[in-house]
Amino acid sequence: MAKSPLAGLSVLLLEDEVLLRKRLAGFLEQEGAEVTAVSTVAAARQATESLTFDAALLDVNLPDGRGTDLLRDKIFPATTNVIIMTAEGGVAGAVEALRAGAADYLVKPFDPEELPVRLAHARRNLQTKRADEFRRGQEAELVFGPSLAAVREQLQKITAADRRLGENLPPVLIEGETGTGKTAVARWIHRHGPRADGPLIELNCSAMPESLAEAELFGHERGAFTDAKAARIGLMEAADGGTLFLDELPSLSPALQSKLLTVLEDHMLRRVGASRPIQVDTRIIAATNVELGALIAAGKFREDLYHRLDLFRVRLPPLRTRGDDIIVLAEELLARVCRRYAQKPKPIPADGRTRLLAYRWPGNVRELAHEIERAVVFGGERGLAFSHLGIESGANAGPTSWFPAGFVFPESGFLLETAIDQIVAQALRQAEGNVSAAARLLGVSRDVVRYRLKNSAPGAGQVGE
């Protein structure tokens, strides 16, 4: 059974008519809300001095003033959804309430059953407003080439499972080097899942000052700290019913990792300075460009959080391992850039394709996108040859560029499999035995390194002498 939109909601009810006040308070409490019911403007002001409310239902005509005076005096923080109740009706009453800052209005008499719908609508508007503060630029569609066929199949299975669940969706963990497209994958999951109409909040954890990170992520109440002059919902709460994408997750402090674990397990969060938790249904997508296992071993990441996140794991390969997909991606990026700069489509010449395939792309897809845009803006058609992507820039410009000078194959030949085992062993030595780090040096998956270790010739795959 779906939870009521009013469950856990803190509501201020200002109504001087005794029977109506009791009726509305009873309905709200039955729906799971926490109600503070008052009958005068003065009592409402006094209540807001010690409490922060998620919503306020205000009558207009009261013995000691008008409910709209509370709006004009700005006694409610931006996090409070205010709905005016009026018997006056008409356009004038609605305009007055909305101009004063109300989220909605109700004309008496009304059915209390309208309240959940109206409050849910007001809350969604608040979430959208908060989400807009962090909305990124125009989103680019993820390009799936043959090398990402397995990734695409995995993403489709995740979104299919999401549609079956509907709510309390399990977290997704995206792994990959910087620039491999982790943000694009997170957006794809959100857009193609059941929460496409909900908010998508994107947060780079490494960009948040540690002193503000908790309040930014979980929100705060008025007076929670020196500069907290008003209550504010956090990004976790703003993404309720939608998705929160946490990029560079390991940058969060251990204390914030612990609070995140609580949200994942209990679907409850507590604003800084709050005395009660808030129920949320926020889908968490986390991304990391470092091996979490190594951070756990070093005591820099919580193992329990890792196991809670590591259910739906997506691993993105580096661009240098994607073969001809580099050209497919480059052509798609080129078409987008040409449209953006109002230029005619341009082909990538043969020598440009060769250089794109030979380059190692340490910055992955992000670096490729920047190279394409620079070529269009500064180089024109000649720039699409990418002549600067040579050995001088650190690229792997040819199949023998890493061989020692003067190297020749022995006339007696050699065993290729043994040579591969020796290369893997050297990578492991350089990575001090870390399989994941060795795999990154070689541009292959961890499974390839493990396979070579398991099936290598005696001594060839051993770490050390």
Per-residue 3-state assignment (H helix, E strand, C coil) for 79-119: CCEEEEEECCCHHHHHHHHHHCCCCEEEECCCCCCHHHHHH
Query: For position 231, what pLDDT does the model report?
Result: 73
d(CA 182, CA 290): 13
d(CA 4, CA 31): 6
Residues belonging to the chain: 465
Same domain, 311 and 324: no
Residue at 402: amino acid letter: W
Query: For position 460, what pLDDT does the model report?
Result: 44
d(CA 9, CA 57): 12
Same domain, 111 and 161: no
Chain position carrying tokens 């190692």 = 360
| Domain membership of residue 29 as a residue range | 10-126
- pLDDT one digit per residue (tens) for the chain, 465 residues: 456 667 777 889 999 999 999 999 999 888 888 899 999 999 999 999 888 888 899 988 899 998 888 988 888 887 788 888 887 655 566 667 777 788 888 888 888 888 888 877 777 766 666 565 554 443 456 778 888 989 999 999 999 999 999 888 999 999 999 999 999 999 999 999 999 888 899 999 988 888 788 888 998 887 777 776 667 788 898 898 899 999 999 999 999 999 999 999 999 988 888 878 888 899 999 999 998 988 999 899 999 999 999 999 999 999 989 988 899 999 999 998 888 888 888 889 888 888 898 888 999 999 999 999 998 888 765 678 888 775 333 444 444 455 555 556 676 777 777 888 888 888 888 877 888 888 878 877 777 788 788 776 554 444 433
**Per-residue tokens: 135:** 């909305």
**Per-residue tokens: 160:** 């299919």
Query: For position 398, what pLDDT does the model report?
Result: 44
d(CA 181, CA 296): 24
410 within some domain: no
d(CA 15, CA 38): 6
d(CA 45, CA 75): 7
Query: For position 391, what pLDDT does the model report?
Result: 38
Same domain, 152 and 198: yes
Query: For position 221, what pLDDT does the model report?
Result: 81
Query: For position 394, what pLDDT does the model report?
Result: 40
228 within some domain: yes
Same domain, 181 and 114: no
CATH number at residue 88: 3.40.50.2300
Same domain, 176 and 231: yes
What is the DSSP code string of 200-269?
EEEEEGGGS-HHHHHHHHH-B-TTSSTT--S-B--HHHHTTTSEEEEETGGGS-HHHHHHHHHHHHHSEE
Q: What is the pTM assigned to this prediction?
A: 0.60
Q: Which residues, 6 or more positions from 351, have their beta carbon under 8 angstroms from its beta carbon?
A: 385, 387
Q: Show which of 268, 285, 315 is a domain's final residue.
A: 315
Q: How many domains does the chain have?
A: 4
Residue pair 263/282 in contact by the 8 Å Cβ criterion: yes
Same domain, 190 and 277: yes
Same domain, 172 and 246: yes
142 within some domain: no
d(CA 367, CA 326): 12
131 within some domain: no
Backbone angles phi and psi of 174, in degrees to 5: -110, 125
Same domain, 17 and 118: yes
Query: For position 171, what pLDDT does the model report?
Result: 96
Q: Show which of 126, 157, 189 is a domain's final residue.
A: 126
Same domain, 211 and 308: yes
Same domain, 165 and 105: no
Same domain, 197 and 241: yes
Same domain, 160 and 303: yes
Query: For position 428, what pLDDT does the model report?
Result: 86
Residue at 6: amino acid letter: L
164 within some domain: yes
Closest residue by Cα to residue 347 from 367, 375, 389: 375
d(CA 36, CA 17): 15
